[in-house]
Chain A
Amino acid sequence: MKRTISFVLNGEKVEVEVEPHWSLLYLLRERFDLTGAKEGCGMGECGACTVIVDGKTVNSCIFPAMEVDGGEVLTIEGLTEMAEGGLHPIQRAFIEHGAIQCGFCTPGMVLSAKALLDENPHPTEEDIRKGIEGNICRCTGYLQIIRAIKAAAEGGKDGRAD
Chain B
Amino acid sequence: MIRFDYLKPSTLEEALSLLYEHGEGAMLIAGGTDVMVEIKQRKIAPKALISLRGVKELEYIEPHNGGVRIGSMTTHRTLESSSLIKEKFPALADAVQNLGSVQIRNVATIGGNICNAAPSADTAPPLLVLGAEVRIRGPRGERVIPLEEFFVGPGQTVLNRGEILVEFIIPPAPAYTGSAYWKHTRRQAMDLPILGVALSLSLNKGEASNLRKLLAESATMEEILFSLEESGLVCQQARIALGVAAPTPMRAKKAEGVLKGAKLTGRKLDEAGRVASQEAQPRDTLRGAAWYRREMIQVLSKRLAIKCLERIFLGEKR
A64 and B103 in contact (CB under 8 A), knowing A21-B3, A43-B40, A133-B190?
A: no
Complex alpha-carbon distance, A45 and B40, angstroms: 13
Q: Establish whether residues B102 and A44, one from each chain, have CB atoms under 8 Å apart when the complex forms.
A: no
| B6 at interface, CB cutoff 8 A | yes
- Residue-wise, chain A 1-33 has the 8 Å CB interface mask toward B (1 for contact) of 101000000000000000111110010000000
Determine the residue in chain B with the shortest Cβ distance to A19: B3
Total contacts A to B, CB within 8 angstroms?
Answer: 84
A62 and B5 in contact (CB under 8 A), knowing A133-B190, A134-B101?
A: no
A66 and B102 in contact (CB under 8 A), knowing A42-B40, A45-B190?
A: no
| B302 at interface, CB cutoff 8 A | no
| A91 at interface, CB cutoff 8 A | no
Query: Which residues from 43 to 70 on chain B have a C-beta closer than 8 Å to any C-beta of chain A?
Result: 49, 51, 53
Spell out B's residues near A (CB within 8 Å): 1-6, 8, 29, 32-33, 36-37, 40-41, 49, 51, 53, 77, 100-104, 106-107, 189-190
Q: Establish whether residues A47 and B51, one from each chain, have CB atoms under 8 Å apart when the complex forms.
A: no
Spell out A's residues near B (CB within 8 Å): 1, 3, 19-23, 26, 42-45, 47, 50, 56-59, 62-64, 66-67, 69, 112, 115-116, 130-131, 133-135
B residues less than 8 Å from A135 (CB atoms): 101
Please name 5 further chain A to chain B contacts, defined as beta carbons within 8 Å, in addition to the given A20-B6, A62-B40, A67-B51, sorted by A numbering.
A26-B1, A63-B36, A64-B49, A67-B53, A116-B102
Determine the residue in chain A with the shortest Cβ distance to B2: A21
How far, in Å, is B34 (CB) from chain A's closest CB? Answer: 9
Q: List 16 A-B contacts (CB under 8 A).
A: A20-B5, A22-B1, A44-B37, A44-B100, A58-B103, A62-B33, A62-B40, A64-B6, A64-B29, A66-B51, A67-B51, A112-B102, A130-B189, A131-B102, A133-B189, A134-B100
Q: Establish whether residues B36 and A56, one from each chain, have CB atoms under 8 Å apart when the complex forms.
A: no
Complex alpha-carbon distance, A42 and B103, angstroms: 14
Complex alpha-carbon distance, A67 and B106, angstroms: 14
Complex alpha-carbon distance, A66 and B101, angstroms: 23
Q: Establish whether residues B102 and A133, one from each chain, have CB atoms under 8 Å apart when the complex forms.
A: yes
A134 and B190 in contact (CB under 8 A), knowing A19-B3, A44-B37, A56-B106?
A: yes
Q: Establish whether residues B32 and A62, one from each chain, have CB atoms under 8 Å apart when the complex forms.
A: yes
B residues less than 8 Å from A56 (CB atoms): 77, 106-107
How far, in Å, is A24 (CB) from chain B's closest CB? Answer: 10
Determine the residue in chain B with the shortest Cβ distance to A20: B6
